[in-house]
Amino acid sequence: MRHNRRALTLAELLVSSTVFSLLTAGFVISYKSSYTSFSQGSEKTMSMRLLREAVNRIQPLISSACPVTASSNAVYEPDFVASPGTTSSQIRFTTLKEYAEVNIQRLGAPVHIFSPINSSADQYQEARLFFDKTVDPARPGGQVGRVKLDLSTPSNTGDDLILARDLYDCSFTNVGANTIVLKLETRRFLRRTMGARDVQAYKLETRLFIPYYSNTAGGGG
C-alpha cells in the first residue's frame, strides 16, 4: 500500500517557528506585566494599610493637645510663630495628665474638653511624638524608623510607646489655624521577575485638627 504524505517545506517551518516564537514572547510579556502589576498592587495595599494605621494611632494624641492656660501654647514644637511652615521630626505638646497616663494606651479615648477657668498646672502632662530612625543598608532606601511617644522623659527610653514601625520618614508641620500636617513615608522592595527588585516609596499626608490650641499659634483657646 502506498501512502501519499506531503512533508512541510522549509518556508512552512520558518513561518510556523516564527508564529510560535511570537506567541511565546507575547505570553512572557503578558506574564511579566501581570506579575509586576500584582506585585505593585499588593505592596501598595500593604504599605497604605500600614500608613493609615499609623495615622489612626497618632491622630488622637495630637488632637488631645490643649494649652495650660488661655494664653499659652498647646504645641511647642514645631512652632508656627517662630518658623511658619517648617517641618520637624518631632512634635511636643501638652495634654491632660489623665489622658496621657490612663487613656494613652488605648489610643482611642474621647478627648477631654479643656477649660482654662480654674485650671491647675499639675493636671497637664507634656508629651512628644518623635521619629526615631536608624541606618540599615539592608532595608529599602537604607533607612528605617519608628514613631515613638515619650512623656517628658527624654533620658528614659524604657517608657517610650511605639506607635508605628517600618517607616522611612515622618514629619510634622505646624500650619496654624489649629492644624498640624502629618506626613508619613514607607519604602518597600518591589519584586519583579527574574529576581530583580526595585525600591518603591509610598506616602501619606493628612491634616490633624486640634480643638483647643493657643491664641498665638492658631487662634483657638
What are the boundaries of each domain within the chain? 28-209
Per-residue pLDDT at 194: 59
Which among 178, 196, 200 is positioned nearest to 188, based on CA atoms? Answer: 200
Per-residue pLDDT at 130: 94
Per-residue pLDDT at 154: 74
What's the average pLDDT block by block, 10 residues per block, for the chain (221 residues)? 61 71 67 58 84 92 82 85 86 79 47 48 80 90 91 76 92 90 91 70 92 48 35
Find how far residue 133's CA is from the centre of its chain: 13
Per-residue pLDDT at 106: 44
End-to-end, the C-alpha distance of the chain in Å comes to 108
Torsion sign, CA atoms 110, 111, 112, 115: negative
Q: Contact at 8 Å (CB) between 219 and 72?
A: no
Q: Contact at 8 Å (CB) between 98 and 112?
A: yes
